[in-house]
A and B are shown apart, each in its own frame.
Chain A
Amino acid sequence: MEISTVQLVAFGIVTAIMLISALLVVTARNIVHAVFFLIVTLFCVAGYFILLLADFLAAVQILIYVGAVVVLIVFGLILTRARVGQAIPMEEVRQRLWAVLVSLVFFGGASYALLNEKWPVVSVEKMEVTTTSKIADTLFNTYVLPFQVTSVLLLAGLIGAIVLAMREEK
């Protein structure tokens, strides 16, 4: 079978799973179930990255989005809503209008950007497949100093979070 055919079929399957789970995220009555469907959706994004031959991004997607961002969301839920396990009655959902507005604006902006961009197309057979080692090479040989600055940035974020949270404590 042709590689592009395999890619297309896999793209279709991943997209189908992604759309279904994304729909379930917004329609689930139990917010914890919504989080689990969000995990499936984010895994599908990693699938896209694999299909685009960006294996490093796929790994980062799973590490950061599935592993860390979802944990932050779950923590946010258990800290703010005591009733997370139960379905919230529709009458109590007050942000419906805003939700519609925000998603319409996002949809409009994303569609505009997608339709107005000239996407460069490269044949799959000609693409390079060693993204991770290439990224490692640029990161540790060309951009060592910016890489170290990243660590300072993370440190600043860490200390900033502690300072803010501890001030709240008093």
Chain B
Amino acid sequence: MVADYFNNYITLLAFILTGMVFLSLVLFLCRLVAPRNPIPDKFTTYECGMIPMGMYWSHFHVRYYIFALLFVIFKIGTVFLYPWAVLFRSLGLFGFVAIIIFWAILFPGLLYAWKKGVLKWV
């Protein structure tokens, strides 16, 4: 049982390693083949062909923090979706109703945010 468990993760490990090797290989080949001509203009921020104004780092309005908070709250909701999806068949209708109620309680929060104009991108 435990051996099976670790064998599954060896597949994951192989996947990660392949990704790392592939990425480094591509970047290395790129460096090998591409001509290098660093001129100052190349390092300016791209702004639709115009000369950029100010720094490339700028302040954002606090309002956008709410987007992040909404994201985190619904992400925590997905944590409960995951075990439910694993046992989906054996939980049956009861589990389905339970998860629907869970999201039905949470959903008015999104409606409230919408009503309050939080979702507007100003």
Contacts and interface: CB of A to CB of B under 8 A. Distances in A.
A85 interface: yes
Interface string B89-122: 0010011001101110110111011001010000
Contacts of B63: 165, 169
Interface string B53-78: 00111111111111111111101111
Contacts of A125: 2
A132 B73 CA distance: 21
Interface string A129-141: 1001101110111
A103 interface: no
A18 to B, nearest CB: 15
Interface residues of A, number: 55
B43 interface: no
Given A59-B82, A72-B68, A162-B113, A147 B98 contact: yes
Interface of B: 1-6, 9, 55-73, 75-80, 82-84, 86-87, 91, 94-95, 98-99, 101-103, 105-106, 108-110, 112-113, 116, 118
Interface string A147-170: 110111011011101100110110
A129 B73 contact: no
A72 B79 contact: no
Interface string A81-113: 011111000000000000000000000000000
A86 to B, nearest CB: 8
Most A Cβ at <10 Å: residue of B62, B66, B83, B105: B83
A34 B95 CA distance: 41
A154 B73 contact: yes
A82 B55 contact: yes
Question: Top 9 closest A-B pairs, CB basis?
Answer: A136-B83, A136-B87, A158-B109, A151-B105, A75-B68, A129-B5, A85-B57, A68-B72, A68-B75
The SS class assigned to the A binding surface is helix
B94 to A, nearest CB: 7
Contact of A158 (B4, B55, B68, B70): B70
5 contacts: A64-B76, A72-B68, A79-B65, A82-B58, A129-B1
Given A85-B57, A132-B83, A132-B86, A63 B4 contact: no
Interface in A114-138: 124-125, 127-129, 132-133, 135-137
Contact of B83 (A56, A127, A150): A56
Contacts of A26: none
